[in-house]
């Protein structure tokens, strides 16, 4: 509403200025110049507004092209009626005068309309820019929150304490195996703690972490768990946000296979599909019940894929046949900056 008032006042001011201009160049007397100018200006104003339906002219520039000539013609008619001028007679008597009025009105009307139109477009661009900035800030904030939540949810206490219990047992029974389990646990913990701070990591690093985790789990679960990791060497250097696959593997174990009494399998595979890196985590666990509350991990992975890919990545969850879940992550394939160094650190 304030916008409307401002525009109206500006229009009235402009009309008055135009009237004085015509008086100055000696075309009209003040009274008729004012009547003509306001009649034409206000007609254009009203018409343009009506055509836009009161809205900011998103893609409605055409309304001006229509409003200016028609508004001018209407304004001339109204002014003539108000001033008691017989138009047809005036046109034949002073064709030059009428041509000047019409030409001037068209020029000034177009100028003013263009000004308003450009201003509205600028405002619109500004609003869009602000919305985009806001969206970016929101995305970044979500990413930070997601990382924090991930850190909290990462090291599952059941997993940690049961693993330690196993190590204590193995120290007596099989020291070599105990040692191996501790090395795997160290890899797992270090990667979890380090990489929540680091930016992008590589597929190779992520799979190392996944392997360490699965080795620990297969000691714990014995024959109930088997697994495979299948990724071509040339893909290992591709960039991947940290801890994107590991939570999916952990879900497969925690919700799919651990609660299942019979034996099951997890299969992790990576391949290139065009320019997309596709990683799939497939299990033969209990599957997803439609009333099962999804964990923090999944929402987190989805949020981070969204944040890093800006809509180009995806996370697809499907039932696996005959049982279990298949989760597929797709991201643009880009090389990681320093995979070799980090891989050495992990080894």
Partner 1 sequence: MSPPTALLVDDEPQLTALLRRELAVLWPELEVVGEALDGPTALELAESHEPEFVFLDIKMPGMTGLEVARRLDGTCHVVFVTAFDQFAVQAFEAAAVDYLLKPVDPARLASAVARLKSRRSAEPPEMGSLLDGLAARMRPKSGWLQWLKVQHGQDLVLVPVQDVAVFRSSDKYTLALTREQEWVIRTPLKDLEEKLDPERFWRVHRNSIVRADAIARVTRDDHGQVVIRLRDMTLSIAVSRTYASMFKQM
Please state the closest distance from residue 8 (CB atom) to partner 1, in A: 17
Please state the closest distance from residue 295 (CB atom) to partner 1, in A: 8
> Given the complex with partner 1, which of 41 and 264 has the nearer CB atom?
264
118: exposed, middle or buried (Cβ count in 10 Å: 0-12, 13-18, 19+)? exposed
CA angle, residues 82, 27, 23, in degrees to nearest 5: 80
> Given the complex with partner 1, which of 168 and 272 has the nearer CB atom?
168
Q: Which residue from 304, 329, 315 is spatially nearest to 146, judged by alpha carbons?
A: 304
> Given the complex with partner 1, which of 112 and 170 has the nearer CB atom?
170
Alpha-carbon span 188 to 249, nearest angstrom: 13
> Given the complex with partner 1, which of 7 and 220 has the nearer CB atom?
220
Which tokens in the block code for residue 161?
A: 């304490």
CA angle, residues 26, 28, 34, in degrees to nearest 5: 125
Contact 208, 194 (CB under 8 A): no
Which positions touch partner 1 (CB under 8 A)? 54, 135, 138, 157-158, 160-162, 164-166, 168-170, 172-173, 219-222, 224, 258-261, 288-294, 298-299, 302, 306, 311, 314, 316-319, 325
* Alpha carbon separation from 150 to 50, 153, 163, 300 (Å, rounded): 54, 5, 20, 7
DSSP 336: -
Quote the radius of gyration of the chain (alpha carbons, Å): 36
Alpha-carbon span 229 to 227, nearest angstrom: 7
> Given the complex with partner 1, which of 131 and 337 has the nearer CB atom?
131
* Alpha carbon separation from 1 to 47, 149, 302, 322 (Å, rounded): 17, 45, 42, 62
> Given the complex with partner 1, which of 140 and 337 has the nearer CB atom?
140
Please state the closest distance from residue 141 (CB atom) to partner 1, in A: 12
Please state the closest distance from residue 281 (CB atom) to partner 1, in A: 14
Please state the closest distance from residue 338 (CB atom) to partner 1, in A: 31
Backbone dihedral angles phi then psi of residue 28, each to the nearest 5 degrees: -125, 170
Please state the closest distance from residue 6 (CB atom) to partner 1, in A: 17
> Given the complex with partner 1, which of 229 and 332 has the nearer CB atom?
332
Backbone dihedral angles phi then psi of residue 315, each to the nearest 5 degrees: -130, 115
Please state the closest distance from residue 213 (CB atom) to partner 1, in A: 16
Residue 239 β-bridge partners: 202
Contacts of 233 (CB under 8 A, 6+ apart): none
> Given the complex with partner 1, which of 211 and 220 has the nearer CB atom?
220
> Given the complex with partner 1, which of 81 and 127 has the nearer CB atom?
127
Please state the closest distance from residue 29 (CB atom) to partner 1, in A: 41
Please state the closest distance from residue 183 (CB atom) to partner 1, in A: 17
Backbone dihedral angles phi then psi of residue 142, each to the nearest 5 degrees: -65, -40
Which tokens in the block code for residue 306?
A: 């969204």
């Amino acid at each position: 509403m304030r916008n409307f008032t401002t525009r109206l006042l500006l229009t009235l001011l402009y009309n008055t200025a135009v009237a004085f201009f015509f008086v100055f160049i000696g075309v009209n007397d003040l009274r008729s110049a004012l009547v003509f100018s306001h009649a034409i200006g206000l007609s254009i104003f009203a018409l343009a507004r009506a055509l836009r339906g009161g809205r900011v002219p998103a893609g409605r520039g055409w309304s001006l092209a229509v409003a200016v000539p028609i508004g001018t013609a209407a304004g001339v008619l109204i002014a003539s009626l108000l001033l008691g001028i017989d138009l047809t007679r005036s046109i034949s008597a002073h064709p030059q005068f009428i041509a000047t009025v019409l030409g001037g009105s068209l020029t000034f009307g177009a100028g003013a309309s263009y000004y308003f139109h450009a201003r509205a477009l600028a405002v619109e661009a500004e609003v869009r820019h602000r919305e985009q900035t806001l969206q970016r800030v929101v995305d970044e904030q979500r990413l930070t929150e997601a990382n924090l939540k991930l850190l909290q949810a990462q090291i599952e206490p059941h997993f940690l304490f049961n693993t330690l219990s196993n190590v204590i047992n193995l120290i007596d029974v099989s020291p070599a195996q105990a040692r191996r389990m501790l090395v795997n646990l160290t890899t797992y913990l270090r990667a979890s703690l380090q990489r929540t701070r680091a930016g992008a990591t590589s597929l190779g690093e992520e799979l190392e972490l996944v392997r360490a985790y699965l080795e620990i789990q297969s000691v714990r679960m014995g024959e109930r768990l088997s697994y495979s990791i299948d990724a071509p060497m040339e893909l290992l250097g591709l960039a991947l946000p940290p801890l994107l696959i590991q939570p999916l593997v952990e879900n497969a174990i925690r919700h799919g296979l651990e609660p299942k009494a019979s034996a099951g399998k997890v299969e992790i595979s990576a391949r290139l599909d065009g320019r997309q890196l596709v990683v799939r985590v497939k299990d033969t666990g209990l599957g997803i019940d439609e009333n099962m509350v999804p964990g923090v991990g999944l929402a987190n992975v989805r949020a981070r894929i969204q944040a890093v890919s800006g809509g180009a990545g995806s996370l697809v969850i499907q039932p696996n046949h005959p049982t279990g879940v298949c989760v597929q992550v797709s991201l643009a394939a880009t090389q990681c900056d320093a995979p070799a160094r980090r891989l050495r650190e992990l080894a």
